[in-house]
Amino acid sequence: MRKRNDNYPEDGKSQNKKSMFNGLISSRIRNLAARLGSSELITGLIMAIVVGAVSGLGAVAFRWLIDNFTNLFFIRGGEILSFMGDYYVVLVPIAGALIFGPLIYFFAREAKGHGVPEVMEAVALNGGRIRPRVSLVKALASSLCIGSGGSVGREGPIVQIGSSFGSSIGQWFKLPDDTVKVLVACGAAGGISATFNAPIAGVFFALEVILGRVVTRRFAYVVISAVVADFLAQAFLGNTRAFPVPTFGIASSWEFSFYVVLGILSGLAALAFTYVLYKCEDLFDSLKIPEYFKPALGGLAIGAIGLYSGDLFGVGYEGITKALSGEMMLGTLLLMGLLKLISTSLTLGSGGSGGIFAPSLFIGAMLGTAVGSVLGTFFPSLTGPVGAYGIVGMAAVFAGAARAPFSAILIVFEMTHDYAIMLPLMTAVVISTVLSRTFRRETIYTLKLIRRGIDIEQEEMSDVMRAITVKEAMTRDFPTVPSTMRVNQLMNEFRKTGHHGFPVVDKDGNLVGIVTQTDVERHLGTSTGKEQQTVVDIATRSPFVAYPEQTLDRVLGASDEEYGRIPVVNRDDPRRLLGVLRRHDIIRAYRRKAKKRLPRSQ
């Protein structure tokens, strides 16, 4: 296939016609949007509906791709390799990896991995802007990976696909960064909602994980997207859950203590999952082979693990169903949970494409059901169904790994529609989250960004600082001292006002320098008679200054030294003092702005 480059330019006339046509269509659609939504609310709701619809349909299409690739690799592949017996499954993940590995490497490297960290990075650093091609490459790569046995989930890819489309809509209409970020969250909410038939959990996942805030002024947009996506997914897939949920019941008040134990074990499992995942990533990064061949090497190990049980391939929902229904023995439950942890880490560490949501649920289901099985053996009259422990374990492990307790609680509640589960569920989820946070600051998502040198919390602070000008933060009528003031008078001024430094001005009020208590102490020392010196003798004559139109992040990043107070001057007349910028002013302005911008995007 011929590549399009400078050696094969398009015909100039046809290129002009194409540009004119695209410009006309784009202009008319924008004008229509302007007429329909002269108010921001109506325009936002229309776009939220569109993003939700595409996310829902995208989830349906993605599941269709997974089903077809699964049939291609395991059914047709099994027929072709029938001479190998059951051992043919070892080759299936390798075959898929040889396709999606180069696809990711050459077309969209953002599609590598579990997807959610890339969306978080786009929101934190790029104003929510994601390359449009990412959604297509992610859909193909992840469906190939899962369909050929990659031990990953479909939720992360659907989040990235929906978010990518939301971002593309925002970019196409040239919307501001804040609005683009909200549309990214709309896509994420729609993806989770359509996958689990859980619109409330989808909303809170988008707010809690993608935007990093549970409260947002544009909460309605995210809700609308989740509802529309869920409606369309149900229209095509039916009102079915990802897996059947057992009947829940509390047999005794003592049982709450058992859920405390489950919460602790779930938190430890979440920490282990995060640790092993990134150790595998380090292992494959150290290998001196082409990036696009590494997934095939991981595929070989995954195929070998899959010989133990086919439920370890793909998303693993059939395995979860077996565990919750009590079809697995204790040893099998523990081994399946361990093997899932390892196979998922190998899939993603080697460069595969898929999410960690479903593997977290799988590990939690195995762990929880195993705990319920042990407790049921020793305390049969005090424990409920083993599947109930599996359900709570699913939420607790995911919450510990992702630090998304609201999402974890709500997704289980929406699946069970049983209020009786709430108290033990919240108990285990909160304990798992707190324990995980105690031992590791980063989540399974943010750790991937930290390893790239991206600190989401720091970027959020910088984002706020970029939105505050010096003029907004500075103190305008800060007291000054004349250059002719005696040092002993200056000492009295320090004692009287409680300030630790003053701008120094001449008789016309022009800035001469700045003087601090440190300057006084340094110049006086233990000698006598120096009190009669004037302020101008000890002041810093060329102080670091700020300009009113500068943003705080530029001022703070302009010098390696720390200053307790910075004179603010007119850029055109640097001697004209306009005010003073102090640490207190910066903190106060940051808190005020952060309170207004509670979500990272409003």
Positive or negative: CA dihedral 454, 459, 462, 463: positive
Contact predicate 458/467, CB 8 Å: no
Contacts of residue 252, Cβ cutoff 8 Å, sequence gap at least 6: 381, 382, 383
Inter-axis angle of helices 219-237 and 40-70, nearest 10: 40
**pLDDT number for residue 595:** 64
CATH level 3 topology of 465-596: CBS-domain (3.10.580)
Contact predicate 380/367, CB 8 Å: no
For domain 255-454, which CATH number applies: 1.10.3080.10, 3.90.25.10, 3.40.50.20, 1.10.357.10? 1.10.3080.10
CA atoms in the 13 A half-sphere facing the CB of 214: 8
How far, in Å, CA of 537 to CA of 435, rounded? Answer: 58
How is residue 26 written in tokens? 């784009």
Q: Is 465-596 in the same CATH topology as 35-237? A: no
Q: In the chain, where are the structural domains located? A: 35-237, 255-454, 465-596
**pLDDT number for residue 21:** 46
**pLDDT number for residue 7:** 39
Contact predicate 100/353, CB 8 Å: yes
**pLDDT number for residue 214:** 67
For domain 35-237, which CATH number applies: 3.30.420.40, 3.50.50.60, 2.10.10.90, 1.10.3080.10? 1.10.3080.10
How far, in Å, CA of 257 to CA of 254, rounded? Answer: 6
Positive or negative: CA dihedral 342, 313, 413, 120: positive
Pairing of strands 501-505, 481-482: parallel
Q: Which residues lie across from 504 on neighbouring strands?
A: 481, 513
DSSP 380-429: TTT---HHHHHHHHHHHHHHHHH--HHHHHHHHHHHH--GGGHHHHHHHH
Contact predicate 335/348, CB 8 Å: no
How far, in Å, CA of 22 to CA of 11, rounded? Answer: 16
**pLDDT number for residue 601:** 36
Q: What angle do CA 67, 71, 77 make, to 5 degrees?
A: 150
**pLDDT number for residue 27:** 58
**pLDDT number for residue 6:** 40
Q: Which residues lie across from 565 on neighbouring strands?
A: 582
- Over the chain (602 residues), the average pLDDT of each successive run of 10 is 39 48 52 53 86 92 94 93 91 96 90 85 82 87 95 90 90 83 92 88 90 74 94 86 68 86 97 96 94 95 94 93 91 96 96 93 96 91 87 95 92 81 92 95 90 73 76 90 89 87 91 89 64 82 89 78 85 90 86 60 36
Max alpha carbon distance in the chain (Å)?
103
**pLDDT number for residue 534:** 87
What are the distances in angstroms from CA 141 to CA 76, 93, 459?
A: 20, 13, 30
